[in-house]
Amino acid sequence: MRIRAAQPADVPVIADLIRQLAKFEKLEKEVVLTEELLVIGLFGPHPYAETVIAEEDGQPIGFALFFHTFSTFLARPGIYLEDLFVLAEHRGRGVGRALLAHLAHLAVERGCGRLEWAVLNWNQEAIRFYERLGARPNSEWTVYRLAGEALGSLGRE
């Protein structure tokens, strides 16, 4: 298995993996991405996120999409893992662990103070996996989101 940084030519693969993740999470109806939007967001003049791809025998078997955050309390950057996904037939073989280890290495290399992510409450298998790695839930915080019309309405004020 090899983990490598995604390149613009990987956008169709990334889009496919995102769609498969959405299906797994039962959120297919929320996916409105286009490959053109991914090109701009990941490889445009101001890349907003990065992606690494796990491959076996040259074939993609998983990915992680992440971006930098900043902690005012630490006065250091962090990495936020937006998506981690491994194809079903490759789960349980260390691919997810290798992707997270790769991100942890990047975080240390880049002087980050933390690596964070969210997990759906029903995904107990993922929660057990993360806790085996030493990750702990941050139960004192509740995530809020503005999207769609609520975001547009506030943004027009």
Residues identified as active-site: 130
**Element containing residue 51 per DSSP (H, E):** strand 50-56
Q: How far apart are the C-alpha atoms of 153 and 108, rounded to whole Å? A: 39
**Residue partners of 88: CB distance under 8 A and separation at least 6:** 24
Residue-by-residue DSSP string for 70-119: EETTTTEEEEEEEEEEE-GGGTTSSHHHHHHHHHHHHHHHTT-S-EEE--
Sheet containing 50-56: order of strands: 2-5, 50-56, 59-71, 76-86, 115-117
